[in-house]
Amino acid sequence: MNILLINGSPKGKKSNTYKLSQAFIEGFSEHIPTEIEEITVREKDIKPCIGCFSCWNKTPGKCVIKDEMKDMLEKYLWADVVIWSFGLYYFNVPSKLKQLIDRQLPLALPFMVSDSETGSHPTRYDMSGKRQVIISTCGFYTAKGNYGSVNTMFDHFLGKGNYETIYCGQGELFRVGELHNRTDEYLGFVKNAGEEFANGGISEQTREQLDTLLFPREVFETMADASWGIEKETGKKEDPAYVFTKQMAALYNKNSYQGKDIVLEMDYTDIEKTYQIILKKDGYEVRKDNFSDYTTKIETPLSVWKDIASGTITGTQAMADKLYRVQGDFELMLNWNKYFGSSNAGTAKNNKQNNSIKDKGTSLLLTLIPWIAYWVGVAIDSYIGAFITIGVCALTSVVFFRYRKTVYDVISSAAVIGFSVAALLLPDMVNILLPASYFSFGAMWSVSCLAKIPLTAWYSMKNYNGETALENPLFLRTNRILSLAWGILYICTSVWTFFLMGSPVSSYLAIINNIIPIFMGIFTKWFQNWYPAHFASK
Ligand X SMILES: Cc1cc2nc3c(=O)[nH]c(=O)nc-3n(C[C@H](O)[C@H](O)[C@H](O)COP(=O)(O)O)c2cc1C
CB of 100 to ligand X, least distance (A): 15
Return d(Cα 305, Cα 318) in angstroms, integer.
9
What's the closest the beta carbon of residue 533 comes to ligand X, in angstroms? 42
**Binder to ligand X among 22, 63, 81, 87 (CB under 6 A)?**
87
Smaller CB separation from ligand X, 9 or 440:
9
Binding residue (CB under 6 A) for ligand X from 28, 89, 305, 340: 89
- Our finding on whether 42 is near ligand X (CB under 6 A) is no
Cα–Cα distance between 394 and 447 in angstroms, integer? 26
Residue 94 CB coordination number (10 Å): 20
Measured distance CA(381)–CA(375) in Å, rounded:
10
Q: How far is the CB of 168 from ligand X (least distance, A)?
A: 8
Among 88, 309, 348, 416, binds ligand X (CB under 6 A): 88
331 by DSSP, 3-state: which? Answer: helix
To the nearest whole angstrom, how small is the minimum distance from the Cβ of residue 174 to ligand X? 7
**Is the distance from CB of 55 to CB of 65 less than 8 angstroms?**
no
d(CA 232, CA 139) in angstroms, rounded, equals: 19
Residue type (1 letter), 356: S
Minimum CB separation of residue 170 from ligand X in Å reads 8
The secondary structure of 295-320, three-state, reads CEEEEECHHHHHHHHHCCCCHHHHHH
Contact between 12 and 88 (Cβ < 8 Å): no
Decide whether 26 or 381 has the Cβ nearer to ligand X: 26
Total Cβ atoms within 10 A of residue 416:
27
Name the amino acid, one letter, at 75: K
Q: Name residues contacting ligand X, limited to 160-179 (CB under 6 A).
A: 171-172
C-beta of 11 vs 287, nearer to ligand X:
11
Q: Which long-range contacts (CB under 8 A, 24 or more apart) does 375-380 make?
A: 375/434, 375/437, 375/438, 375/510, 375/513, 375/514, 376/510, 376/514, 378/419, 378/420, 378/423, 378/430, 378/433, 378/434, 379/430, 379/434, 379/509, 379/510
Q: Cβ 92 to ligand X, closest distance in Å?
A: 8
Shortest distance in whole angstroms from residue 156 CB to ligand X: 20
Q: Taking Cα atoms as reference points, which of 256, 250, 255, 252 lies closest to residue 224?
A: 250
44 vs 287 by CB, closer to ligand X: 44
Site residues for ligand X, 299-358, by CB under 6 A, read none
Contacting range for ligand X; rule: CB under 6 A; set: 70-78, 88-96, 378-386, 388-396? 88-96
Encoded one letter per residue, x for contact with ligand X by CB under 6 A and - for no contact, window 116-155 reads ---------------------xxxx-----x---------
Number of chain residues interacting with ligand X (CB under 6 A) = 17
Q: Which is nearer to ligand X, 223 or 449 (CB)?
A: 223
Nearer to ligand X, 220 or 242 (CB): 220
| Residue 165 vs 327, nearer CB to ligand X | 165
> What are the C-alpha distances in Å from 357 to residues 353, 405, 414, 458, 470?
9, 9, 22, 14, 16
Q: Which is nearer to ligand X, 173 or 422 (CB)?
A: 173
Q: Which residue is at the shortest CB distance from ligand X?
A: 87
Q: Give 128-167 as a 3 state SS string.
A: CCCEEEEEEECCCCCCCCCCHHHHHHHHHHHCCCCEEEEE
- Cβ-based nearer residue to ligand X, 164 or 267: 164
Residue 91 interacts with ligand X (CB under 6 A): yes or no: yes
Query: Which residues 1-30 are close enough to bind ligand X by CB under 6 A?
Result: 9, 11, 15-17
The Cα 536–Cα 454 span in angstroms is 21
78 touching ligand X, by CB under 6 A: no
Report, in Å, the least distance between residue 21 CB and ligand X.
Answer: 9
Residue 7 vs 497, nearer CB to ligand X? 7
205 bridge partner residues: none
Smallest distance, ligand X to C-beta of residue 198, A: 23
Residue numbers of the site for ligand X (CB under 6 A)? 9, 11, 15-17, 87-91, 137-140, 146, 171-172
